[in-house]
Amino acid sequence: MESQKYAKFTKILLWVLMILSICVLVWGSVTGFEAKDGAATNVLLYWAYIVLGIALFAVICIGLYVTATTNPKGLVKIGIAVVGAAVLFGVCYLLASGAPAINCSKAATDSELKMTDTILNLAYLVGGAAILSIIVGEVMMTIRNKK
């Protein structure tokens, strides 16, 4: 009964977020992303930050609540995953150069450049790990099936 209540709430929340996202996108397209000093672009970016915050809240807080109620020992695994993600982010931050962008008309601050490079390094690392895991998974399945 309680899981149905959460499922219904989640479904309604997702529909509201999707409708608001479409409204922001249509508004930005109608007004033009380059018009008015890029105000539509700023609104779109802020909306993306809000949705990202909601997603992080849902994954972390709701995931912790569900795990704590169903499997309290699973909290250790979640803690290890969070620490691992923080370490991965820290390594990517340390590897980020923060060099200025080439052929960019707007000057970014040093912290913006460093964070951009960090996110790019993180995307490269996670993307490479995903491709590597697909290849290793297929090779392992092939080896196991030949026996």
pLDDT in tens, 34-80: 766 767 778 888 888 888 898 888 877 877 888 888 888 888 888 89
Helix axes 74-95, 110-146, angle to 10 degrees: 120
Task: Output DSSP code: residue 60.
Answer: I
Q: Please report the pLDDT score of residue 77 as a whole number.
A: 85
Mean pLDDT, rounded, of the chain: 85
pTM of the model: 0.56
Q: Please report the pLDDT score of residue 128 as a whole number.
A: 96
At 108, list the tokens. 């970014």
User: Which of 70-79, 83-92, 111-120, 136-145 shows the lowest per-residue confidence on average (mean pLDDT)?
Assistant: 70-79
pLDDT band at 103 (very low <50, low <70, confident <90, very high): confident
pLDDT in tens, 114-125: 898 999 999 999
For the chain, give the number of residues.
Answer: 147
Percent of the chain past pLDDT 70, that is, above it, reads 93
pLDDT band at 2 (very low <50, low <70, confident <90, very high): low
Sign of CA dihedral 126, 132, 137, 138: positive
Q: Where are the domains of the chain?
A: 1-72, 74-147
Is the per-residue pLDDT at 1 higher than 60?
Answer: no
Q: Please report the pLDDT score of residue 147 as a whole number.
A: 57
